[in-house]
């Protein structure tokens, strides 16, 4: 059985790309380790590495204008950790596309119009999910075991060889999507967050993509596993505390206010 997890507002638009948000699925097996998204939600990410005050002011003004039309279900302040590492201690974001490949990965072009609709050209999707880490359990693992789980060395961030067909695959291999010899990337901008005093340590996953199926396939491979049952071991130490939230970017949201 598969469940729809999407914001109910998007299908109301006339915009095909936004309507696709109602079609993003995660299999119910995957949901065992995850929690379902609430319907009717919207995502805002604001960031300024150097100026927390600007983020605060932006959020204050935005929420003042939106008033009672929105309910804030989560507000998480992330930060950049040493060497762009996550709180598991690994450099996060290395395999992101660079240069012109960034736009290729995130912006819907007229070639994708069949999938997303002409109004979506120039836009893209933002996908977020909040994870909490069991750092005391993670830190009991040897560095070698942690490296096998992630698929990279911890200190110098060197990529390890892929696991064989039937073997337990590392996170980086499960999250790599290949179809007909083409690799499909997303751009990730994960933010660590935490509160040492309260023992809270997490990663706020933030992904940008021009196609939702790519993210859906990454999540399926991580949560269900390849082969099935060999799920991503990062999830044994990282619990998804929200469902997956999606928002269309500029172009995608353009259908609002067009009627219906
Ligand atoms: C607990 C949450 C997560 C943590 C701590 C985490 C951490 C990492 C780390 C350390 C890497 C290796 C370095 C790099 O290339 O960035 C990585 C790679 C990657 N992750 Fe995650 N990740 C998390 C969740 C996710 C999710 C939910 C997705 C997708 C839906 C994802 C997609 C990817 C992709 C596509 C790669 C690059 C694979 C490659 O081509 O080498 N990650 N992640």
| CA-closest candidate to residue 71, choices 39, 49, 47, 45 | 39
234 lines ligand 1 (CB under 6 A): yes
Give me 58's structure tokens.
């932006």
Domain membership of residue 91 (yes or no) is: yes
Domain membership of residue 124 (yes or no) is: yes
Give me 204's structure tokens.
């706020």
Q: Which of 74, 86, 92, 156 is catalytic?
A: 92
Domain membership of residue 158 (yes or no) is: yes
Bond before 227 cis per omega within 30 degrees: yes
Smallest CA separation from ligand 1 atom 23, residue:
205
With a cut of 50, say whether residue 22 has pLDDT above it.
no
- Cα(260)–Cα(254) distance, rounded to whole angstroms? 14
Give me 32's structure tokens.
């065992």
Domain membership of residue 129 (yes or no) is: yes
- CA of residue 69 to ligand 1 center, whole Å: 34
Containing domain of residue 44, as a range?
A: 2-255
With a cut of 50, say whether residue 124 has pLDDT above it.
yes
The average pLDDT across 105-127 equals 79
Domain membership of residue 185 (yes or no) is: yes
Whether 11 contacts 114, CB under 8 Å? no
pLDDT at position 62, please?
Answer: 86
Give me 247's structure tokens.
């928002």
Domain membership of residue 54 (yes or no) is: yes
Domain membership of residue 260 (yes or no) is: no
Burial pattern 205-217, b for ≥16 Cβ within 10 A else e, equals bbbbbbbbbbbbe
What is the number of domains present in the chain? 1
- CA of residue 172 to ligand 1 center, whole Å: 6
| CA-closest candidate to residue 132, choices 236, 55, 11, 31 | 236
Q: Tell me: the pLDDT tens digits for 43-74?
A: 556 666 567 888 888 889 988 998 888 778 78
Q: Which atom of ligand 1 is nearest to the CA of 238?
A: 1
Domain membership of residue 89 (yes or no) is: yes
84 lines ligand 1 (CB under 6 A): no
Q: How many residues does the chain have?
A: 260
Q: Tell me: the pLDDT tens digits for 140-187?
A: 999 999 999 999 999 999 999 999 999 999 999 999 999 999 999 999
């Amino acid at each position: 059985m598969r469940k729809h997890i999407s914001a109910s507002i998007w299908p109301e638009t006339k915009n095909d790309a936004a309507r696709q948000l109602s079609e993003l699925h995660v299999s119910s097996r995957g949901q065992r380790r995850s929690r379902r998204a609430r319907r009717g939600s919207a995502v805002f990410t604001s960031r300024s590495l150097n100026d927390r005050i600007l983020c605060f002011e932006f959020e204050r003004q935005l929420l003042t204008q939106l008033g009672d039309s929105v309910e804030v279900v989560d507000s998480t302040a992330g930060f950049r950790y040493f060497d762009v590492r996550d709180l598991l201690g690994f450099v996060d974001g290395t395999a992101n596309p660079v240069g012109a490949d960034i736009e290729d990965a995130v912006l819907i072009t007229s070639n994708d119009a069949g999938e997303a609709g002409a109004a979506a050209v120039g836009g893209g999707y933002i996908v977020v999910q909040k994870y909490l880490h069991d750092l005391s359990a993670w830190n009991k693992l040897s560095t070698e075991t942690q490296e096998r789980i992630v698929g990279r060395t911890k200190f110098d961030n060197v990529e390890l060889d892929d696991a064989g067909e039937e073997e337990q695959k590392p996170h980086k291999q499960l999250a790599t999507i290949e179809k007909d010899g083409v690799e499909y990337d997303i751009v990730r901008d994960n933010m660590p967050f935490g509160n040492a005093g309260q023992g809270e340590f997490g990663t706020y996953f933030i992904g940008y993509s021009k196609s939702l199926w790519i993210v859906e396939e990454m999540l399926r491979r991580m949560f269900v596993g390849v082969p099935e049952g060999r799920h991503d071991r990062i999830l044994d130490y990282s619990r998804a505390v929200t469902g997956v939230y999606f928002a269309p970017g500029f172009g995608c949201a353009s259908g609002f206010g067009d009627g219906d």
